[in-house]
Amino acid sequence: MRRKERQVTDEKQLAQIIEACHCIRIGFSDGGQVYIVPVNFGYVFEN
């Protein structure tokens, strides 16, 4: 995480964020080109 002051560490808050999302977008940079890939996901909170 580049900006520690924006980091979310509370598990309940993380669960709220994840449950509100239907997909995530991952950004990449390759040889000066930037692109974004939308990704569906599943999750299970343990412990």
Indicate if the pLDDT at residue 26 is higher than 70. yes
Q: How much is the pLDDT for 4?
A: 84
Domain assignment present for residue 28? The answer is: yes
Residue entry with tokens 């580049």:
2
Domain assignment present for residue 11? The answer is: no
Domain assignment present for residue 7? The answer is: no
Residue type, 36: I
Domain assignment present for residue 2? The answer is: no
Indicate if the pLDDT at residue 1 is higher than 90. no
Domain assignment present for residue 6? The answer is: no
For residue 30, what are its two tokens? 């390759």
Q: How much is the pLDDT for 5?
A: 85
Question: Domain count of the chain?
Answer: 1
Range of the structural domain that residue 42 is part of? 22-47
Q: How much is the pLDDT for 2?
A: 73
pTM above 0.75, yes or no: no
Secondary structure class of 24 (helix, strand, coil) = strand
Domain assignment present for residue 38? The answer is: yes
